[in-house]
Amino acid sequence: MEKKIIVLATSNQHKVKEMNFLLSKYGYKIISLDDLNLKIDKEETGKTFKDNALIKARDISEKTSYPVIADDSGLSINALNGFPGIYSARFMEDKSHKEKCIALNEMLKDTDDKSCSFFCAVAYIDKANNIEKVFIGETKGRLMPEYDDNAIDKFGYDPCFFSNDLGKTFGSSTPEEKGSVSHRSRAINLLIEFLEGKK
């Protein structure tokens, strides 16, 4: 059976591989912007993860007839009113994530509340069927006082995010462990439930 193509609004092949792994078993094939020689031209000016995911998805949906998926994610710290949130990637953009974690801990020095969440918004647009949906995944934890220099995976804020579900940092977890509880996998699972329900 021929797989149904969905465009993932990214040039990040790691994300493409992850999405293909999750969706291929349901009969979908994920392709990237590079495969279609496309790029996102709109700025992420939204106030929420949902807004920014939709900005990217709508921009690419205007340029292709295929259904489109776009995601936006970040770390929200409760005592900082959700900061860095949608600015997670842009916060101290020229600094390492270790330096970012140190700076965030400095901001929290006067509170015992280190609780935080990773959020991921996955936008899905299928203009041929007039469908526009956003799915939100959340995983809760707390900011560790120190960056884990011995982390297995030093991706982003993972070495200083302690997962309540796993009882350890994302950085010290295997890809399978992280994938079972991560904000992205939870959002994608909601997308899969929707796609399967639409069949």
Answer whether 167's CB lies under 8 Å from 101's CB: no
Tokens of 116: 């935080």
CA distance 127 to 131: 6
* Helix, coil or strand: residue 128: helix
Instruction: Give the residue from 135, 102, 8 showing the smallest Cα distance to 60.
Output: 8
Kind of pairing between the strands at 161-163 and 168-169: antiparallel
> What's the distance, CA 32 to chain centroid?
16
Work out whether the CA dihedral 157, 56, 79, 93 comes out positive or negative: positive
Catalytic annotation, residues: 72
